[in-house]
Amino acid sequence: MREEILLGNGAIALGLMEGGCQVLTSYPGTPSSEILPEFVRLMKLEGVDAYTEWSTNEKVAVDNAFAAAVSGKRAACCMKQVGLNVAADSLMSAAYMGTTGGLVIVSCDDPGPHSSQTEQDTRLMARLAKVPVLDPSNPREARQMAKLAMELSERFKIPVILRPAIRVCHARQNLSWEPISGEGKRASFEKDPLRWAATPRFRFILHGELNKKLREIAGLFERLEAHNFHNLDPGKSYSLGIVASGVPYSVVKDILEEEGRGDVPLLKIGTPYPFPESLARAFMSQCEKVLVIEETDTVIEYFLREKERVLGRLSGHVPSEGELVPQVVHRVLEGAFKEMGLDPLGPGGDGQVMELVKGLDLPVRRPTLCPGCPHRAAFFAIRKGRAKTIFTSDIGCYTLGLNLGAVDTCLDMGAAITMASGFYHAFRQDGIDQSIVATIGDSTFYHSGTAGLLNAVYNDARFVLVILDNQITAMTGMQPTPGLGIRADGTQGRAISLERVVKGCGIEFVEVVDPYDIKAMGKVLKEAEAHVKDPQGGIAVIISRHPCIIAYREEAIAERKSVTVTEDCDQCNLCIERFECPALYVDDKLGRTAVNQAICTGCGVCLQVCPRDAIVEV
Which residues here bind ligand SF4, judged by CB under 6 A? 369-373, 375, 397, 470, 474, 548-550, 561, 563, 581, 583-584, 595, 600-606
For residues 102 and 135, the answer to whether their CB atoms sit within 8 Å is: no
Which is closer to ligand SF4, CB of 418 or CB of 471? Answer: 471
| CB neighbours of residue 578 within 10 Å | 17
| CB neighbours of residue 127 within 10 Å | 18
Give the total of residues touching other proteins (CB under 8 A). 57
Nearest approach, Cβ of residue 356 and ligand SF4 (Å)? 34
Which is closer to ligand SF4, CB of 224 or CB of 551? Answer: 551
Nearest approach, Cβ of residue 367 and ligand SF4 (Å)? 9
Binding partner at 170 among ligand SF4, other proteins, none, C-beta below 5 to 8 Å by kind: other proteins
Binding to other proteins, residues 320-339 (CB under 8 A): 325-327, 330
| CB neighbours of residue 135 within 10 Å | 34
How far apart CA 293 and CA 242 sit, in angstroms, is 7
Which is closer to other proteins, CB of 71 or CB of 250? Answer: 250
Q: Give Cα separations from 134 to 116, 123, 320, 425 (angstroms).
A: 21, 8, 22, 45
Residue type, 603: C
Among 351, 230, 211, 235, which residue's Cα sits nearest to residue 280? Answer: 230
Q: Would you give the end-to-end CA distance of the chain in angstroms?
A: 56
Which is closer to ligand SF4, CB of 181 or CB of 564? Answer: 564
Which is closer to other proteins, CB of 341 or CB of 363? Answer: 363
Handedness of CA 436, 441, 447, 453 (dihedral sign): positive
Binding partner at 595 among ligand SF4, other proteins, none, C-beta below 5 to 8 Å by kind: ligand SF4
Q: What is the DSSP string of 501-527?
A: HHHHTT--EEEEE-TTSHHHHHHHHHH
How far apart CA 43 and CA 349 sit, in angstroms, is 44
Nearest approach, Cβ of residue 316 and other proteins (Å)? 22
How far apart CA 214 and CA 225 sit, in angstroms, is 18
Binding to other proteins, residues 153-182 (CB under 8 A): 167, 170-174
Which is closer to ligand SF4, CB of 66 or CB of 391? Answer: 391
For residues 481 and 470, the answer to whether their CB atoms sit within 8 Å is: no
Nearest approach, Cβ of residue 520 and ligand SF4 (Å)? 17
Q: Which of 242-250, 421-429, 447-455, 522-530 is the region at the interface with other proteins (rule: CB under 8 A)?
A: 242-250
How far apart CA 587 and CA 267 sit, in angstroms, is 57
Binding partner at 137 among ligand SF4, other proteins, none, C-beta below 5 to 8 Å by kind: other proteins
Q: Does 599 bind other proteins (CB under 8 A)?
A: yes
Q: What is the DSSP string of 381-412?
A: HHHTT-TT-EEE--SSGGGGGGGGT---B--S
Q: Does 262 bind other proteins (CB under 8 A)?
A: no
Which is closer to other proteins, CB of 153 or CB of 250? Answer: 250
For residues 247 and 271, the answer to whether their CB atoms sit within 8 Å is: no
Q: Give Cα separations from 424 to 392, 434, 458 (angstroms).
A: 11, 7, 14
For residues 53 and 164, the answer to whether their CB atoms sit within 8 Å is: no
Residues 207-222 as b/e (b if ≥16 CB within 10 A, e otherwise) read: eeebeebbeebbeebb
Q: Does 349 bind other proteins (CB under 8 A)?
A: yes
Which is closer to other proteins, CB of 7 or CB of 129? Answer: 7
Nearest approach, Cβ of residue 597 and other proteins (Å)? 8
Q: Does 107 bind other proteins (CB under 8 A)?
A: no
Nearest approach, Cβ of residue 64 and other proteins (Å)? 25
The verdict on whether omega for the bond into residue 265 sits within 30 degrees of 0, i.e. cis, is no
Nearest approach, Cβ of residue 610 and ligand SF4 (Å)? 10
Binding partner at 163 among ligand SF4, other proteins, none, C-beta below 5 to 8 Å by kind: none
How far apart CA 180 and CA 14 sit, in angstroms, is 9
Return the SS3 of 437: strand
Binding partner at 584 among other proteins, ligand SF4, none, C-beta below 5 to 8 Å by kind: ligand SF4
Q: Does 143 bind other proteins (CB under 8 A)?
A: no
Q: Does 577 bind other proteins (CB under 8 A)?
A: no
Nearest approach, Cβ of residue 115 and ligand SF4 (Å)? 13
Q: HSE on the CB side for 227, CA within 13 Å?
A: 27
Which is closer to other proteins, CB of 186 or CB of 358? Answer: 358
Binding partner at 372 among ligand SF4, other proteins, none, C-beta below 5 to 8 Å by kind: ligand SF4
Q: Give Cα separations from 218 to 143, 258, 273, 397 (angstroms).
A: 21, 33, 8, 42
Q: Does 124 bind other proteins (CB under 8 A)?
A: no
Q: Does 353 bind other proteins (CB under 8 A)?
A: yes
For residues 65 and 159, the answer to whether their CB atoms sit within 8 Å is: no
Binding partner at 547 among other proteins, ligand SF4, none, C-beta below 5 to 8 Å by kind: none
Binding-site member from 68, 148, 255, 540 for other proteins (CB under 8 A): 255
Nearest approach, Cβ of residue 601 and ligand SF4 (Å)? 4
Binding partner at 548 among other proteins, ligand SF4, none, C-beta below 5 to 8 Å by kind: ligand SF4
Which is closer to ligand SF4, CB of 157 or CB of 383? Answer: 383
Binding partner at 404 among other proteins, ligand SF4, none, C-beta below 5 to 8 Å by kind: none
For residues 461 and 421, the answer to whether their CB atoms sit within 8 Å is: yes
How far apart CA 133 and CA 148 sit, in angstroms, is 11
Q: Does 618 bind other proteins (CB under 8 A)?
A: no
Cβ burial of 499 (10 Å; 0-12, 13-18, 19+) is middle
Q: Which residues bind other proteins (CB under 8 A)?
A: 3, 5, 7, 30-31, 33-34, 114-115, 137-138, 167, 170-174, 247, 249-251, 253-255, 257, 325-327, 330, 347-350, 352-354, 356-357, 359-360, 362-363, 365-370, 397, 400, 475-477, 582, 597-599
